[in-house]
Chain A
Amino acid sequence: MKSAVVLAPGLNRDRDMITALAQVSGQAPQTLWQTETTLPDGLDLIVIPGGFSFGDYLRCGAIAARMPVMRAVADAAERGVMVMGVCNGFQILVEAGLLPGALMRNTSLKFVSREVKLEVANANTAFTRRFEPNQVIRCPVAHHDGNYFADGETLARLEGEGQVAFRYAEGTNPNGSMNDIAGIVNDKGNVLGLMPHPENLIEAAHGGEDGRAIFESALAKVA
């Protein structure tokens, strides 16, 4: 199993993500600086962590989505390499066109940093197969722009094709996102974006291991 974490100015959850990947896979991930144009051979999973890339100027994730390394990430995704974006990483993936829709300002207009409940809306994806169908887990969120939006046709397709991977459950939607969407996969199922931070709930010292199964699922292929 070979994983890598993308690094860019303003991304600040990279250490947490590196720790989570190393703990679950037993192997430290490589790091990819934003100016790199080629990727190491044989990567199975590329993770874009959270933060405030490039100050979130213009739109959240907009500048980072155009950084050189993202062209290589898009090529890798096209070849079937798994790609996961968390929080700002999710925003970067939608801005890069690797996932449909957009992430808008929270309806409350407030930055939310709290724990929510997540329902595993599709336990058959490469990122969720270690969960039970409709399992509800705890997960922290910390964002200002997590309000998922897609036009009606796109939303119907996401729902119809099982591309909604995670939904906020039990009335804990923190941002007003459509259909309580917290995370989606692309049509091929190898790209996941989610607003919550599973990397911050993977060991007892975090207060729980609810997020661990996402990493176990994603790393299962070769672990």
Chain B
Amino acid sequence: MHNIGTWDWETGKRLIADTGKWKDMFDWVEEPYVSPDGERIVAVVKTGEMEYSVCENDTPWESTFDKVWYLRFGPDNRLTALVSSTGAWTVAVDGAAWENTFDFVWNTKFGADGKNITVAAQKDMEYFAVTNDIPWETRFSALSNLTISHDGKRVAGVAPTVKIKQGDIFIFQEGCYSAVVDGKPWDVNFVNVWDLAFSHDGEHVAAEVRTSLYDYTIAVDGVLWDKIYTSVWMPQFSPSNGSVTAPVRIAGKWTLAQDGKLFWDRSFAQLWHHMYSPDGKKIAAVVAPKYGRWTIAVNGIPWSLTFGDLVTDAVFSPDGNRVACIGKEGGKWTIAVDGKAWGEKYDMVWQPVFSPDSKKVAAKAEKNGRYTIVIDGKPIKESYEALWNPVFSPDSEKILIKGIEGNPDGGKYFRQVLPLTDVTG
């Protein structure tokens, strides 16, 4: 989210739109999406025979299309939609379609401030990326793993760089894929290239690669680590020193390696989704300290709390001293913070959110078909028929709740700013 200090943080509750009426206005209303600042609620609607548009705060866009999908708000609260007119696809930003059209577009991505919008595109069976309506000049026979730099100015993907026919298994095994950065492939090919990561300055790209059917390692700007592993997961750049770390599999166990050398001194039955604290001093990862038990390890030290089903969506606090995640045990979901699980269990929980001062944690949770916000383990009084992730105010004293209330206000979408003292005592 971008510029949250400029949002309306006045305490109070505002009705933004009555989505309950949309069903009377249109034959077809899809699930709603809400802008980060909570000021806009939108949904794909049908406005005529084979004619679709987007309804925003009770008013449909003037522009209509044959098909609209993948509504996504950028961090700057602009709304993008992937739209088709007479079979030609493009991106519409706040209702205005890009000039270029394609045979298909997908996978919208935003830079941190929302200014740079990128999609994957296909035209005449050639594949490329498009940023702010400017397509790559180079085209490929496929494109996957679309990845953008922090500011969204640079774009990478994975593409075949050697023409290969289906069934040509020996050519495939010689290496036919490479990472492509801003349309330019690395000058080295691999058997496979998977997840990519940009350095924080956007200057470098690391990739998980397979150099034969059996040899996995990390390539940074096309240069391989000098160690190979039996498998690897997605690498990350350190925000503090630019080194690259990745989970690597050695002798059936997983550990963390840095620049090709062992970094953590212990191994796990699984280790993935490692991430750096904002200052780069700490690394947390989802790990299985033993088969079938899951937790978080910070700098290699696992929490004693473990979950049997899964752990996911870990996040560092802004000060880098705390970690929160989702845990699931026996089919029930909860949030864990710094190795302690919230007492209440839910049917589903969403990624936890830290307050800017790192002191509070909030999460959207679902129970019996209703949604609520839980703050430090305590649910607020209200429940909703639809709800979006909460946002703390810059001073950490208020929380923005974006929700559609149930009866008697069924379908009414409210934007509400609450002082935390009101909801947590």
Report whether chain A binds chain B.
Answer: no
Chain A residues packing against B (C-beta within 8 Å): none
Chain B residues packing against A (C-beta within 8 Å): none
